[in-house]
Structure 1
Amino acid sequence: MNRLAVLLLLALPVLGCGNATPRVTLYCGQDEEFATDVIRDFETSTGIKVDVRADTEANKSVSLYEAIVRESKQPRCDVFWNNEIINMVRLQNQGLLESYPTSAAKPFPAWAKGPGDTWYAFAARARILLVNDRIPPEERPQGILELTDPKWKGRVVMAKPQFGTTATQAACLFEVLGKEKAEQLYRELRPNVTVLPGNKDVAVAVAEGRFDVGLTDTDDAIIEVQRGRPVTIIYPDQQTIGTLFLPNTVAIIKGAPHSQQARRLVDFLLSPEVEKRLAEGRSAQIPLNPDVQAKLPIQRPTQVRAMTVDFTKAAAQWDQVQAFLRELYAR
């Protein structure tokens, strides 16, 4: 092989770089069935290829959080689209999120913006009770505390309390009720409840009549309602602590390998078009941008009594709450 041929071969990788497709790596805790079309629209409109790492239903948000922490010295993730808020706050507390002030977040309420513009909240849903209609209206539980009554033994179902929005709900209840009352709640609930892998499993199990009551999210519950299944959504604790509403959150990881593409993806996810699409799609997620007008088959936080929770304080209790739940639900 002559000298010119050798030089050309060595130059090929460099020459090819200029034509490489721009990419961004997204760690996505949102359900694949709801996120796929949004991601595809971003790729089509920008020409940026999105490499997605997703959660399984059984370890929602927690496994991606752990991956981001583990990879923090050499990040692989550019953008984290989380399906809840507590683990995003935990990442922020560890200094693992990049500050990104963006005009895309300007219409959102102040609470939906992390300190130093490190994360943003959008597209919320509620933690609700899904009740099979064979239970007469006058006998249906109206709050989570009611499910500790022995009459509900074997009739209640929920997802693993160590993961996803079920874990987030636990942390929030510890913050709102206090440690003593929250521990009592989960101890008294334990004999009555069956644990399934995820919230979708919970909604389907109640819809199929295998259980009477399920603790789940509105995005999974509304699908069963719209399928014509014999189920009713109850917004719990309207006379006491209120119903918990949880947003999606999005952030750029500090040291993201593709920071410019990451910024474009964050702006896209915060756009009115995406919130409207998530609201009017099957997941019926609630827009946080007040400028987004959408018809919803579920209640907004302004239409029911919403739980008042300090997510920062709830995040601070995460490790303690999880240690308690692991011990209790491993039995």
Structure 2
Amino acid sequence: MASRKIVWRLLSIAVLAVATGVALLAAGCGDDDERELTIYSGRSPDLIGPLLQRFAEETGINVRVRYGGTAQLATLLVEEGDQSPADIYIAQDAGALGAVQAAGLFADLDDDVLDLVPSAYRSREGQWVGLSGRARVLIYNTEAFDPSELPTSILELTDPKWRGRVAWAPPNGSFQAWVTALRVGEGEEAARAWLEGMKANDAAEFPNNVSIVAAVGRGEVDLGLVNHYYLHRFLAEEGEGFPARNYHTGPGDIGTLVNVAGAGVLKTSERSDEAREFLEFMLGEEAQRYYAETNSEYPLIAGVPSASHLTPIAELQPPDIDLSDLADLEGTLRLLRSAGVLP
């Protein structure tokens, strides 16, 4: 097991070394009739690069990857339209996948691919599929709180008792996807009131999840709104003494949303066979175990357990939100700006 992890780490380093804009992951075969896939990835090289390299090696399919922000690449796909070179789009959240689907750019996926994951984690219309699960959590400083002192709902953070003690990341894509879910689950006016209340309560702004976890660990802030797996990177590097832990709010609370990183195949792709192979690989046992064991994300296929240090996904009791309803990123950005949360 240790040697396998070392291989993954070496592959990760190799991918990171070339992942500037567009990376070509060569399969190592020199056939004239080489098979190839072009992937637009809104997931960073450290999270997905080793899997893309492994896919190329195992299938003989050369993979050309364009890395970028999830929203940035979704916008690019819409701008490129039927001239896009992309075969597959990988996004860090269901909202971006839904936006590309709403633009009419995705092809229908085969049922036997869709059926690999539960219906809650794939497109209602069958045009994208989740690859891994990511839960929203409150991360808290263990030297400041006992979990029994924490709120049972994320909506309680506008209470004056939390003034200046909570970190959030409005520019971050995963936070924006969560705000879209807040709009869907609680309504537009409730979402606006919460955002304005957080701003009035002096929520500390950070650029991303990593910086929030680091700040909570330093004691700079007491609480933060993040995806669950970022903490486990810090624990792996700094040990169990790192003074922060994840906290799941109450059953059905919007603060426990489980979103997905996922993928869809572009309608204009002429490499449907290769694209299908890719999705089957990403939803196969090897890739799903990688998500669980290396990334501390939730695997989505049956038979692959989540990491032992995570609350099982079946026990999270997330809100009843259809991920297919999270496509209105533009509406969320307008709300964030009008609430004074984004410039």
TM-score range, shorter chain: 0.7 to 0.9
Structure 2 match to 1:266: 279
Aligned in 2, Cα 1:294/1:130: closer, same or farther, shift over 3 Å?
A: closer
Letter in 2 for 1:168: A
Structure 1 match to 2:301: 289
Structure 1 match to 2:8: none
Shift in Å, 1:20 = 5.7
Matches within 5 A, 1:1-331: 19=32, 21-55=34-68, 60-101=69-110, 103-137=112-146, 138-161=148-171, 163-191=172-200, 192-226=202-236, 227=238, 228=240, 229-238=242-251, 240-241=253-254, 243-281=256-294, 283-315=295-327, 317-327=328-338, 328-330=340-342
Work out the CA distance in 2 between the residues paired with 1:46 and 1:157.
43
Work out the CA distance in 1 between the residues paired with 2:220 and 2:63.
39
Work out the CA distance in 2 between the residues paired with 1:239 and 1:207.
28
> Alignment RMSD, CA only?
2.2
Shift in Å, 1:158 = 1.6
Which has the higher mean CA deviation after the structures are superposed, 317-326 or 233-242?
233-242
8 Å CA contact 2:94, 2:262 repeated in 1: yes
Work out the CA distance in 1 between the residues paired with 2:98 and 2:281.
21
Which has the higher mean CA deviation after the structures are superposed, 204-213 or 178-187?
204-213
Structure of higher CA gyration radius: 1
Work out the CA distance in 2 between the residues paired with 1:160 and 1:86.
16
Work out the CA distance in 1 between the residues paired with 2:220 and 2:44.
24
Which runs of 5 or more residues in structure 2 are unaligned?
Answer: 1-29
1:246 partner SS:
strand
Deviations 1:132-168 (A, max 9, x none): 112131443443122212233332212235x421111
Number of equivalent positions: 308
The percent identity for this pair of structures is 24
8 Å CA contact 2:292, 2:306 repeated in 1: yes
| TM-score of the two chains, using structure 1 as the length reference | 0.85
| TM-score of the two chains, using structure 2 as the length reference | 0.83
Which runs of 5 or more residues in structure 1 are unaligned?
Answer: 1-16
Work out the CA distance in 1 between the residues paired with 2:273 and 2:149.
55
Deviations 1:237-293 (A, max 9, x none): 337456101111111111025433222212211212211111111x21112212223
2:168 partner SS:
strand
Which has the higher mean CA deviation after the structures are superposed, 170-179 or 319-328?
319-328
Which has the higher mean CA deviation after the structures are superposed, 179-188 or 238-247?
238-247
